[in-house]
Structure 1
Amino acid sequence: MPISLLTDIKLSGQPCFDFTDEMESASGSWFGGPIMGAYFLSCKDLKFNQPLFSDGIPSMIFMPDRADEVSLIKEGELLRLKSVWVCCGVIRDTQWIRPEQLEHILVLRFNPSAFYSAFNISPSMFVASPVCNFEDLVDQSWLGVIGEMYKVNSPAEKLTVMNKALSASGKSSYLPYLLEVAIDHIDQRKGNTTVSDLLAAIGGKVNQRWLQRNFIKYIGMPPKRYISLQRFIYTYGQCDRSKSSDFSDAAISYGYYDYNHFQKDFKHYMGIAPSRYRWK
């Protein structure tokens, strides 16, 4: 999703509803339900070319109108998507060309296990296409749900339609308890951890092979990659809010060995060095 908006979500640490009172029960937490958070986000202050990033959490983005189109630049190539698009997996060097008059988008972030189960999607689908049309992933019944969401006006009403459909699907949001503990540890440390530390935090109850297998099965990526994504987005957020052009302290505080380590990740995800990036 747009990296500036994802940074705000991650640093706030709270599900964000502009319609909180009527939909509070739908927000949930990591393990409380299919939808982790719903965000009605202003786009007025976003850069025209907004880099996209995923922290490994499936995010569904709704443009205001069903007829809206989405334009992306991926590694220099122009791509076009429809009004409901999904960001998941590892996104590299991809920018969203924000429509000039766009005021807001609605973003739903899903418990990964529930997302893959409810929509009958394999995590492997996002390896080659981490940003894609929602309708290319699902069957006609879910396209009908999207149609119903666009027939109602408020974000709360749209979320109600989606929640009813998810409940009716009867799909499981199950995650092994020790995997929940591992994910919670990574998130609490903001990615400043290692797989070895993670195994120790679990209390030595599982081995690295178990952790690797279950992360890939339920989250769609190895634990080392999930850790890397959290470390990067929190470091990016700190750098973006800093008035300093020296990002070494922020990088090291979030677990990078040094600035060069952070710079390597930055080029990998953003396609450019942090010193050449247009911050703010």
Structure 2
Amino acid sequence: MPLVFLQKIKSAVFPKSRLVWRKDIVYKQLKNEHFFGVYVFPCMDLKSNQPLFNDGLPSLIFMPRKSDTVHLKEKGEMLKFKSSWICCGVIKDTHWEVPKDLEYILVLRFKPSSFYSIFNINPSVFHSKPIHNLEDIMDENWMQVFDKMFERKKISQRISFLDDALSTCPTNDCFPHILSTAMEYIEERRGDTTVSDVLHQLGKRVNSKWLYRNFVKYVGIPPKKYISLQRFIYTYGDYKENRSDDIFNVALHSGYYDYNHFFKDFKRYIGISPSNYAWN
């Protein structure tokens, strides 16, 4: 999803079981436990050419109309997607050409433990291609569900429909509890950690090979990369929210070894240097 939107999600603390309505974001915690939340982002003031980013969690994105199209530029190559698309995994140097007068996007953030089980999708589908049309990876029955969602005119009706449709879905519940604990610790540390530190927190119950194998199997990326994604998005958010600080100091306090370490991540994920990025 757009980096600026994901940064808002990561930096905000939303109360559970409540509707939060702000000028820049609408958040609702759904009644089932498959989601981290559903978000509506107004886009009328969103500038075109928005960099996309994902923190390793499946994020479904719906445009206002089924007939809408999405135009992305990945390392200079133009890509076209339909109105229902998904981001998950490591996105590099990919920008969205935001349509003029786009009202909003609707975003569903899934827990990996539920997403891959409900939709019968293997995390490996995102290894080399982190952005897909929903119809390219989901079966016809689920696409019919999303088509019915588009028949609802109001955003609140669409959210309620999806909540009802997904709340009854069973999962195989095979996601390891220790892996959830590791992800929660990485999130708590805002990515300012290492694989060794995570293993230390988990204790003797798990070794590095188990952690690597299960991260790749259930999340789709290695633990070191997952940590890197969290560190980057939180560092980006810290500097964006308080640019009176020196970006070098922000990077150091966020767990980067030096500015060059952050510079390389920024160039890898966004495609340009921090000094050339439009922070406003």
- The verdict on a shared fold, with TM-score over 0.5 as the criterion, is yes
Partner residue, 1:90: 90
Q: Which runs of 5+ in 2 are unaligned?
A: none
Are the aligned partners of 1:58 and 1:87 in contact in 2 as well (CA < 8 Å)?
yes
> Amino acid of the residue matched to residue 226 of structure 2?
Y
Q: Following TM superposition, by how much is the alpha carbon of 1:120 offset from its aligned partner in structure 2, in angstroms?
A: 1.3
Distance verdict in 2 for CA 1:62–1:25, change over 3 Å: closer
> Amino acid of the residue matched to residue 104 of structure 1?
Y
Are the aligned partners of 1:49 and 1:97 in contact in 2 as well (CA < 8 Å)?
yes
The alignment's TM-score, normalised by the length of structure 1, stands at: 0.92
For the residue of structure 1 that corresponds to 2:205, the secondary structure is coil
Q: Following TM superposition, by how much is the alpha carbon of 1:17 offset from its aligned partner in structure 2, in angstroms?
A: 4.2
Partner residue, 1:26: 30
The alignment's TM-score, normalised by the length of structure 2, stands at: 0.92
Partner residue, 1:39: 39
Q: Following TM superposition, by how much is the alpha carbon of 1:168 offset from its aligned partner in structure 2, in angstroms?
A: 4.0
Distance verdict in 2 for CA 1:267–1:197, change over 3 Å: same
Moved more, 190-199 or 41-50: 41-50
Percent identity between the two aligned chains: 49
For the residue of structure 2 that corresponds to 1:26, the secondary structure is coil
> Amino acid of the residue matched to residue 201 of structure 1?
Q
For the residue of structure 2 that corresponds to 1:121, the secondary structure is coil
Partner residue, 2:239: 239
Q: Following TM superposition, by how much is the alpha carbon of 1:153 offset from its aligned partner in structure 2, in angstroms?
A: 2.4
Alignment partners' CA distance in 1, 2:85 and 2:79: 12
For the residue of structure 2 that corresponds to 1:64, the secondary structure is coil
Partner residue, 2:195: 195
Distance verdict in 2 for CA 1:17–1:50, change over 3 Å: farther
Alignment partners' CA distance in 2, 1:50 and 1:189: 27
- Residue 77 in structure 1 maps to residue 77 in structure 2: yes
Partner residue, 1:107: 107
Alignment partners' CA distance in 2, 1:244 and 1:75: 31
Alignment partners' CA distance in 1, 2:47 and 2:235: 19
> Amino acid of the residue matched to residue 30 of structure 2?
A
> Amino acid of the residue matched to residue 129 of structure 1?
K
Runs of 4+ in 1 over 3 A off after TM superposition: 15-20
For the residue of structure 2 that corresponds to 1:66, the secondary structure is coil
Partner residue, 1:277: 277
The correspondence of residues 77-226 of structure 1 with structure 2, limited to 5 A, is 77-226=77-226
Partner residue, 1:257: 257
Q: Which runs of 5+ in 1 are unaligned?
A: none
Are the aligned partners of 2:3 and 2:50 in contact in 1 as well (CA < 8 Å)?
yes
Q: Following TM superposition, by how much is the alpha carbon of 1:42 offset from its aligned partner in structure 2, in angstroms?
A: 1.2
Give the root-mean-square deviation of aligned CA atoms: 2.0
Distance verdict in 2 for CA 1:172–1:193, change over 3 Å: same
Q: C-alpha offsets along residues 217-239 of structure 1, whole Å, 9 cap, x if unaligned?
A: 11111111110000000001112
Q: Following TM superposition, by how much is the alpha carbon of 1:4 offset from its aligned partner in structure 2, in angstroms?
A: 0.2
> Amino acid of the residue matched to residue 35 of structure 1?
F
For the residue of structure 2 that corresponds to 1:115, the secondary structure is helix
Are the aligned partners of 1:17 and 1:40 in contact in 2 as well (CA < 8 Å)?
no
Partner residue, 1:58: 58
For the residue of structure 2 that corresponds to 1:14, the secondary structure is coil
Are the aligned partners of 2:40 and 2:107 in contact in 1 as well (CA < 8 Å)?
yes
For the residue of structure 2 that corresponds to 1:41, the secondary structure is strand
Distance verdict in 2 for CA 1:59–1:25, change over 3 Å: closer
Alignment partners' CA distance in 2, 1:278 and 1:143: 37
Are the aligned partners of 1:215 and 1:221 in contact in 2 as well (CA < 8 Å)?
yes
Are the aligned partners of 2:61 and 2:107 in contact in 1 as well (CA < 8 Å)?
yes
For the residue of structure 1 that corresponds to 2:55, the secondary structure is coil
> Amino acid of the residue matched to residue 26 of structure 1?
L
Are the aligned partners of 1:40 and 1:105 in contact in 2 as well (CA < 8 Å)?
yes
Are the aligned partners of 1:72 and 1:97 in contact in 2 as well (CA < 8 Å)?
yes
- Residue 248 in structure 1 maps to residue 248 in structure 2: yes
Q: Following TM superposition, by how much is the alpha carbon of 1:121 offset from its aligned partner in structure 2, in angstroms?
A: 1.1
